[in-house]
Structures are given as C-alpha cells and as structure tokens.
C-alpha cells in the first residue's frame, strides 16, 4: 500500500500550503489518527528543535519522517544559494549542511525548495547557476558519508527563475554530479510547467527522491482536475519506493483537507 505523509511545520510558518502549523504534538497525533504513515517536517533551522523530543513525539505515533523541508529559511530569513550577498550564500550552505545530522537520524531526505533563491537584479542567470551548482556540490559531498540525500524541487515560474521542470532538474543533476542529489517532484508545480506529468515522471526515474501532491488548485488531491490515478500509477511503475506527501492549502481547514486527501488517495487503489 502506498505510504502517505503530510507536511507539518515544527513552528508557526508563513508558507500558505503548509496545512498544519504550530502545536506540534497535537498535530502529530491528529495526522496519525487520520491514517497517515509519516510527517514531512518543515524546519527553518535545526538549531531551534530538540531532535530527541521530535523523534519521540513522532515515533510514539508510529510515524516516519520521509523528508525535511527547509524553505522557511528563505521565506523568513532570506537565505539563498544564489544571493548576490556572499554572506547570505554562505549562511544558506551552512544552514543546509546543518540539517544533515537530523536527516540522518530520521532517514529523511533534505528538501531544497526556495533556498535555491531567485536571480537578483543585475546578476546573470549563468552566475546564479554557477552559485547553485557550487552550493549543491558542497552540500552533497558533506551529506554523502552520512547517507543523506538532497532533493531539489522544480518550482513553477511564478516562484523562481531557477529550475522549473524535470528537464531542467536532470540537466542540473548532470552538472552537480553527485549520486545523493536528486529531485522532489510536486504535482502542483508539474501541472503548470511540465508538457506531460507522466512523461516527466518516467524521465526522472530513480532520481525521484521525494514526491509532493496537491491538486491543480493547490487544494487537497481530489479537489481539482489532476488525474492522480494515472500520475501515481506512473510514479510507482517507475520504481519509486518513497512516500507520497501532501502539501496543500488548509481549505476548508487543515483537518478537513488532511482527511479528504487521505480518503481520496486511498480510494484510488494505487
Ligand atoms: C515547497 O515544497 C513548494 O512546493 C513551494 O511552492 C514553496 O515555495
Ligand atoms: Mn512542494
């Protein structure tokens, strides 16, 4: 049976598609109660969490942590691999490396979303790509001995100018040249950018390190017009063995969206 998780922030977060924010223990209990197998933790800074406490709360409910999201470090602190400020670039790299011990403890992938940044005015796209590749090589090399993987997420054009599609991501993987560097595919972004979601999943193959689901409108799966049966069958036919993780807006509210998502996805018989 497909393993399902949902994004949960360890602290109150600004990102609108994080359904559950704050009140960590209570939310973990609710998520387990709905039948999820895991929680994807959004952690701005690992220094702000107590790893043993986190592990205890999560394992008490028999949940796994398939991935750790880092995007709040960009959203709330402006850290970016491609900033024109060398101190912010260095801080972003150090922050992303600082997730390695926690990720190793949970056996989780570390997600690289908006921490990649957006090309600042006056900087060329080539320069951003050079910064990005250097940062990814440094982080991947630091994580490899610990068995930790990084999953960079292609994001739609309205969020960044850097890496929109699986094709962009595969080209980046080639240039980074590290076995522990792959992609996180998100159906919301794919619906905007990919010519064919299924073809792109097949093209990405064993470099799919994590998977986000939201419907076309970024509501829970089942609330829009994506063909999740076709998408998820293709994903598992490609050999994917990881979690399918819900990252959608809390509409009509966090609890109802989480419950409707799991009911719908389980009903697909994937
Ligand atoms: C994060 O996983 C995501 O999908 C982005 O839209 C964050 O900006
Ligand atoms: Mn996502």
pLDDT tens digits for range 68-98: 999 999 999 999 999 999 999 999 999 999 9
If one residue of 71, 78, 210, 217 were mutated to test the ligand 1 pocket, choosing by the most ligand atoms within 8 A of its CB, it would be 71
How far does the centroid of ligand 2 lie from the alpha carbon of residue 153, in Å? 7
Minimum-distance ligand 1 atom for the alpha carbon of 114: 8
> What pLDDT does residue 211 have?
99
How far does the centroid of ligand 2 lie from the alpha carbon of residue 134, in Å? 23
Which protein residues are within 6 Å of ligand 1, measured from CB? 71, 113-114, 153, 155, 159, 186, 212, 247
Contacts of 117 (CB under 8 A, 6+ apart): 74, 80, 81, 82, 83, 92, 128, 132, 160, 162
How many Cα atoms within 13 Å fall on the side-chain side of residue 94?
7
Please name each of the domains of the chain with its CATH number: 4-266 (3.20.20.150)
Residues taking part in catalysis: 153, 247
> What pLDDT does residue 36 have?
98
Q: Which residue, judged by its Cα, is nearest atom 8 of ligand 1?
A: 114
Per residue in 14-43, pLDDT (tens digit) is 888 888 877 899 999 999 999 999 999 999
Q: Which residue, judged by its Cα, is nearest atom 1 of ligand 1?
A: 113
Minimum-distance ligand 1 atom for the alpha carbon of 75: 8
* Calpha distance 52→69 (Å, rounded): 18
Per residue in 96-149, pLDDT (tens digit) is 999 999 999 999 999 999 999 999 999 999 999 999 999 999 999 999 999 999
């Amino acid at each position: 049976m497909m393993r399902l998780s949902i994004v949960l922030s360890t602290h109150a977060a600004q990102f609108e598609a994080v359904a559950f924010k704050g009140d960590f223990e209570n939310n973990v209990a609710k998520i387990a109660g709905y039948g999820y197998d895991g929680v994807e933790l959004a952690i701005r800074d690992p220094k702000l969490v107590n790893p043993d406490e986190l592990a205890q709360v999560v394992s008490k409910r028999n949940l796994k942590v398939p991935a750790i999201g880092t995007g709040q470090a960009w959203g709330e602190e402006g850290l970016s691999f491609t900033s024109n400020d060398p101190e912010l670039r260095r801080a972003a790299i150090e922050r992303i490396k600082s997730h390695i011990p926690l990720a190793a403890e949970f056996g989780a992938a570390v997600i690289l979303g908006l921490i990649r940044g957006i090309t600042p005015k006056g900087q060329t796209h080539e320069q951003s790509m050079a910064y990005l590749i250097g940062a990814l090589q440094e982080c991947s090399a630091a994580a490899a001995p610990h068995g930790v993987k990084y999953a960079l997420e292609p994001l739609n054009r309205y969020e960044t100018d850097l890496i929109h599609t699986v094709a962009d991501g595969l080209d980046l993987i080639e240039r980074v040249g590290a076995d522990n560097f792959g992609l996180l595919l998100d159906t919301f972004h794919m619906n905007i950018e990919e010519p064919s979601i299924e073809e792109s999943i097949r093209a990405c193959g064993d470099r799919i390190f994590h998977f986000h689901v939201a419907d076309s409108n970024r509501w829970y799966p089942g609330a829009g017009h994506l063909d999740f049966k076709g998408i998820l069958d293709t994903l598992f036919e490609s050999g994917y063995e990881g979690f399918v993780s819900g990252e959608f807006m809390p509409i009509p509210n966090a609890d109802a969206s989480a419950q409707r998502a799991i009911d719908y996805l389980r009903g697909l018989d994937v």
